[in-house]
Structure formats: C-alpha cells, structure tokens
Structure 1
Amino acid sequence: MQLIHLAASAGYTTPPLWRILTKAGYFVGLSAAIGATVTYASSVRPALRAAESQGGNADVMRRRTAGHLAWAGVVLLVAGYFQLAARLARAGKGMPFGDALSPARIWDFLQAPAAKGAWIAQGTIYIVQNVVLVITAATLISLFLPAARRRLDALALTALPLSLAITLIGAVPATKPKDSDKVLDLVFGQTHIISGVVWVGGLAFLAVLATSRGRLGEGAGLLWADIWRRFALVALVSVGAVLTSGLWMSWKHVGSISQLWTTTYGLFVLIKILLVLGMMAAGAVNQFWLMPRIAKAREEDDTSSLLHLTLHHFPKVVWGEVVLGIAVLAVVPFLSGSARSEAGSPAAVSSGSIFAVGALLVLTLVASLYVTVRTSDALARRAVPASA
C-alpha cells in the first residue's frame, strides 16, 4: 500500500494485475524455452555425449530432458497468447483485458495499417513474431511423442535459434530510431532479456532435471559434475551480460543513487538489484565451495560423495537461485516509466565521457569475472592434493 501511495504522489502508474501477470508470464515462457534449449546445447548435450558409456543414466537424462522441453513449449505457447492479448488491451485507447482475449479482436489488431512514418505495420511485426513463437512451441511440444524423442538433439537445436528469434523480432522498431541512443537501448535491452532468461531458465531447467536422481545410478555423479561445470561458464557469461546491459539501462532511467529510494521506479530497480545480488551470492557458494569439493570427490573417485554433492547439495542452492530469479521476473512488470521523469531530472544523453566511464566499468567487471574463474580453479586444484 505504501508503494502504491508513493506511486500516486510521484506520478508513477501501477500496472493493472493482468499486465503484471502477462508480462511476468511472458518472461517465464521465454526463460523456459530459451534457457532450457541453450543449457541443453551448451551443458547437458556435451556431458551426455561424453558419458555415453553410462547408458542407463544417459537414457534417463534424455527422457527427462525431452519431457521438460515439451512442457517448456506449452508454457511458451500459453504465455505468448496472453502477452499478445495484453498488447491489444494496451493499444490505442485500450480495452478490458477480457475483451482482448478474443481471437477475432486480436486478428483485427494485427491487421491494422502502418502508422504514419512507419516502415512496416506494428501488427506485421507481431504476426511474424508469433508465427515463430508457434513454430518454436510446436517443435518443443512434439517431444511429448516417443518418435520425436529419438530426434531430441535435432529438435532442441532447431528450437534454440527460433526461441531467440521470438524476442529479437519483437524488438524490431516499426519506425526508424531517432538517434544512436535509441539503437543502444534496443541492443542492451535485448542483451539484458536474453542473458537474463538464459540464466534463470537454465537454472530452473537443471534444477528440474536433478529431481530425476532417484532413477540414476551411482555413476551419475560424474555426469552431473560435468553438467554443473559446463553450466558454470554459461552462468558466468550471462551474469556479465546482465550486469553490463543493466549498467546502461540503469543510467538511462535512474539519474542518481538517491532516486533508488526516492522514486517508485527506483525502488523496484533497487529490489531487482538486491535479488540479482542474492542470485550471484548463491552462485558464489556453488563456485567457491561446492565446485572444489566436487573436484576433490571426482579426483578421489568417491562416487558416493560425488553423487551427494552434485544431486543433493548443489541443486538445493540452485533452487534458491531459481526462487530469486522468479522474483526478479515478478518485479519486471513494475519497471514502467523512469525514475528520472518521476524526479524531474533531465533525460540521459550519451557522450564520450559516459562511454569512457562505461568502458572502465565493463573492464572492471570482466576482470572480476576472470578472477572469479581463476580463484575457483585454484580452490579446486588445492582441494585435490589435500586429499592425497
């Protein structure tokens, strides 16, 4: 209630419940599709191919993976439809969300002519985006069929670029961007979305896959150690991209540190920052504490400890990251407007000095991520001799 009161006094408009649910749901759908396919291609598939000798464990993992990807397609399809209806409800003078769910009204909306000065009708962009979304969802949903599961690699790798195209097509502007800042807004915005959904969706995908541990043999610990190791790099790159793009977006919308607690928009940005920091802290626990212990158990060929670490301890921390990630997605719909406009600050305009400061911050971030990797490797190497 206090946030809503502040919103009213500061000119912030709290989004309606249907807008909150549809936007958060859309990002959940993207997380399910993009996060799962990217993680499968980069982490699960290579680990399974390296562990082909563990026939039973690999077969269980493939069946579980196919089922998860199929359900990801269902989530994406449902979320995409509600998101399209939400676009209609917000278009023009707007209409009740219940009315916007009508397929006939949606089709009329998609066929609207291009606005004056536009190079293409906005509805045409949405048509292309949603055709790709349906194809992506159908590709994933086909994995419910036993015959399709035998082509898991082909279908998952087909769905990967298609799922990325969904958000990229949706970001195509119907009118020419006014300046380079608008272009950068689009680039960093898509970078933020894709890296964020890869991170959250990948964590959720692996956390769900880890629940199949009851059907796996003792040798599965080695397989999962390889999966977690590979995904650690994916997560690290995603974190770097999220933070880099987040720096640009925060500067564009927040004029000063104090606006993080004196404006409603800033408060939601602050909440999001704290949640992301919580995810990073949980990831640090895995990177600096669990990964060295896994390396030690792997070197000692301690299959019992390896299985316990990779399929009990590690997923518990990952589930914590997933919960925080879902909370981040729930905050996103509230990031409407700008802290600068609420506070009456001037709009952000880029300059050479801004890019120089940004480059310095990005280099610092890259250096810190490099140190993170090196430190984790050093801890792993130190853990192995200590067991001799």
Structure 2
Amino acid sequence: MSFAHLAATAAYATPPLFRILTKAGYFVGLSAAIGATVTYATAVRPALRTPETEPGDADALRRRMSACLAWSGVVLLVAGYFQLAARLARAGKGMPFGDALAPGRIWTFLRAPAGKGAWVAQGTIYIVQNVVLVLAAAALIALFVPQVRRHLDAVALTALPLSLAVSLIGAIPAVAPKDVDHALDPVFGQLHIIGGTVWVGGLALLAILAVPARGRFGENAGALWADLWRRFSLVALICVGAVLTSGLWMSWKHVGAISQLWTTTYGFFLLIKLLLVLAMVVAGGVNQFWLMPRIAQARRADDRSSLLHLTLRHFPKVVWAEVVLGAAVLAVVPFLGGSARTEAGSAPAVSSGSIFAAGAVLVLTLAASLYVTARTSDALARRAAPAPAAV
C-alpha cells in the first residue's frame, strides 16, 4: 500500500513544517546538551584521569570538549525558544508561527490561567522548564570564555542535572493522571527521550571530538581513545536497554497489531524508526564484537600505530554512520503523532497483570541479552590478546 493511499484513507494529520522543524530541532538540542554532559561525566572525564593519558593529549581533548559543550548550549537555547514558539502556535485556535515568535505573545501564553481540573497552569510548567533551560544553556555557553574553561569539570557537572531537568520538567502533567497507564506514560516517555538523547548525542560528540585527531593528538593518544570508546560502549548499552524497554511500552500503547505497522500512517513512520534504530544497534554490534576486541589486542600488544588507527580513524567511521542514523531517527519523530490504534479503529490499550508480567519477561530477556553482549565482547577481547612472553 502506498504512502499516498495511507494518507488519504487514514485519520492522520501531517504536521505543519514548523512543527516538524521545531520538534526535531528540540530533540537535537536535548541530544547536544544531555548527550554531551552525560558523555563527559561517564566517559571523557574518567578517561582524562587515567595515568596513561599524555598531558598534551589531555589538554587537546579538554579544549575540544569545552568548545563542543559551549556550542551545545547555543543549540539548546535556540532550539528551546523555537520549541516554545511552536507550542504557542499550536495552542488554542493556533496562529502563524512567525507571529508566535514574538516575546510578548509568548509571555501572554505562559501566563494563561490553569484549566479546569488542573493542579497547576501549563504555562507555569513551561516557565519553570525554560528558566532551567536558560540556566543550563548559560552554564555551557560560558565555556566560550577561556577563564571559565579552567573549571570545565564544575561547569559540565552543573549543566548535566540542569539539562536532564529540562526534559523531566516538561513531562510533568498539569492534570493528575486518570489511572496507572496515564501515570506510566510520561515515565516511559522520559526514559525513551533521555536514553535516546544520551545515545545519539554521545555518539555525535565523540565523533566530532575525533575529527581533528591527526592535528591535535600525539602518537600515544590511542590509549586515551581506547579508554573513551570502551567507557562509552557501556553507556551506549545502557541507553539501548532504556530505549528498547520504553519503546516496548510505547509501541504497545499505540499499535494494536503487527499489521498496523504497514496499514496505518503512524505505523508506517514507526516502522521506519524501528528499522533505523535496528541499524544503529547493528552498527553498535560491529563496534562491540569486532572493533573493541581488535583495539584491546593492539593495546595489550603495545602496538601504538594500530591502536591509533583503530581508535581515531576506523572506529569513528562506524560511529559517524550511527550518528547519521540517529539524525534520521530524530527527523522521523515529529511524524509520530496520533496512534495506529486510533487510525485502525482498534480498542485503546489497557494494562493488566498479564500485560505487566509479559512486559517484565521481555525486559528481563532484553537485560540478559545486553549483559551477554557485554560479557561476550570482553571475552573476545581477552581471547584476541596475545599470550605473555616467557621469561
């Protein structure tokens, strides 16, 4: 069935162009800020502190890291403003997006009183969210100042919780949830968003950091980058688990049957997203089962030339492929409006004990598979390592 036929027969409203651009841009902003700060805290910062790191390589990485964090603050600030204007353009009877960009109109929108049954005005939630967003962006943008870069740790670790709070605060419902399902929706939604932004944003950050490697890092930088990739691989595995676990819940909520993936417009876009995520997982598998063991072998053999080639030339190529796939996922997200169940006339999803039991089994199976993946990668790395020379 063609996409045109789907659009003509299904109750699906194609989002306006401003909505597509602002929503995708907002997730790019979150990926830049959350992905960069979490990756710095969990991978870059620990790697910089290892005894093997050469001072020159550490200084080069800190400078590049500071610049990336500073620009991520700019992206977050701009994306947040356009996202806020888009909310106004879609509120009530709506208005042209160009008119919604006016600060006065945005302020009036934010000061609107709470609706009936709401425990707080939605505008109040948006105000708090955007105040935190400005604070996070300001902290990151301050890294453009050379004197502030001396305090990279303090700035990055301050911006990290603020960046996470931007997403978490925005998910707070203005109206109390009706039931357990409605209470769980924002929880799984945030798990999905944060897991995805750390995954995609972290990959993009490390890929960018590796670009100027030939001119900025020394011949011994392979050890530093081997440690970086190893640490982020673990972070990526956790993110994959979070994305897939939350994705199971969200897919069940919005898709009533497998066939709805190709018989509804929502399902069509969801299927594209699933295939892109699967491709990212496959690319990550190449890193885990092929590149990481080779890197471990070169590191233990003290083969600096091979280690530098693998970590700064070969590995980033695969990572860039993942970044492109991740960008494609973010481009698809704005089209996931509505529900395949609604389009197909299926009954809404209602949780039960059996649903939660089946979900628990799937989650445990997923957790076990990710654990096996990590252990298998470690085993391959040990097996690839050469035996110690006899004395």
Q: TM-score, normalised by structure 1?
A: 0.98
Q: Secondary structure at the match of 1:201?
A: helix
Structure 1 residue 376: Cα displacement: 0.6
Q: Secondary structure at the match of 1:169?
A: helix
Distance across 2 between alignment mates of 1:113 and 1:371: 52
The answer as to whether partners of 1:33 and 1:72 remain within 8 angstroms in 2 is yes
Q: Which amino acid aligns with 2:232?
A: F
Matched, 1:346 2:347: yes
Structure 1 residue 3: Cα displacement: 2.6
Distance across 2 between alignment mates of 1:120 and 1:241: 30
> CA offsets, 1:129-168, max 9 Å, x none?
0000001000000000000000000000000000000010
Structure 1 residue 5: Cα displacement: 4.4
Aligned to 2:125: 125
RMSD, aligned α-carbons: 1.2
Aligned to 2:170: 170
Aligned to 1:280: 281
> CA offsets, 1:255-303, max 9 Å, x none?
0000000000001110000000000000000100000000000001011
Q: Secondary structure at the match of 2:386?
A: helix
Structure 1 residue 387: Cα displacement: 9.1
The answer as to whether partners of 2:52 and 2:224 remain within 8 angstroms in 1 is no
Aligned to 1:21: 21
For residues 299-378 of structure 1, the aligned pairs below 5 Å read 299-378=300-379
Q: Structure 1 runs of 4+ off > 2 angstroms?
A: 1-5, 385-388
Aligned to 1:101: 101
For residues 168-317 of structure 1, the aligned pairs below 5 Å read 168-214=168-214, 215-317=216-318
Structure 1 residue 355: Cα displacement: 0.6
The answer as to whether partners of 1:294 and 1:309 remain within 8 angstroms in 2 is yes
Structure 1 residue 8: Cα displacement: 3.2
The answer as to whether partners of 1:66 and 1:144 remain within 8 angstroms in 2 is yes
The answer as to whether partners of 2:52 and 2:223 remain within 8 angstroms in 1 is no
For residues 55-70 of structure 1, the aligned pairs below 5 Å read 55-70=55-70
> CA offsets, 1:170-226, max 9 Å, x none?
001111010010011010000000000000000000000011212100110000000
Distance across 2 between alignment mates of 1:371 and 1:3: 39
Distance across 2 between alignment mates of 1:76 and 1:52: 34
Alignment length (residue pairs): 388
- Structure 1 spans left out of the alignment, 5+ residues: none
> CA offsets, 1:78-111, max 9 Å, x none?
0000000000001001111111011110000001
The answer as to whether partners of 1:52 and 1:58 remain within 8 angstroms in 2 is no
Aligned to 2:382: 381
Structure 1 residue 385: Cα displacement: 2.8
Q: Which amino acid aligns with 2:234?
A: L
Q: Which amino acid aligns with 1:72?
A: S
Q: Which amino acid aligns with 2:263?
A: T
Structure-2 change in CA distance of 1:147 and 1:52 (3 Å) = farther
The answer as to whether partners of 1:4 and 1:14 remain within 8 angstroms in 2 is no
Distance across 2 between alignment mates of 1:387 and 1:293: 17
Structure 1 residue 370: Cα displacement: 1.0
Matched, 1:144 2:144: yes
Distance across 2 between alignment mates of 1:5 and 1:316: 38
Aligned to 2:88: 88
Q: Secondary structure at the match of 1:349?
A: coil
Distance across 1 between alignment mates of 2:174 and 2:14: 27
Distance across 1 between alignment mates of 2:20 and 2:5: 18
Q: Which amino acid aligns with 1:242?
A: V
Distance across 2 between alignment mates of 1:165 and 1:3: 38
Distance across 2 between alignment mates of 1:236 and 1:185: 23
Q: Secondary structure at the match of 2:385?
A: helix
Q: TM-score, normalised by structure 2?
A: 0.98
- Structure 2 spans left out of the alignment, 5+ residues: none
Query: After the TM superposition, which of the residue ranges 207-216 and 162-171 deviates more from structure 2?
Result: 207-216
The answer as to whether partners of 2:37 and 2:159 remain within 8 angstroms in 1 is yes
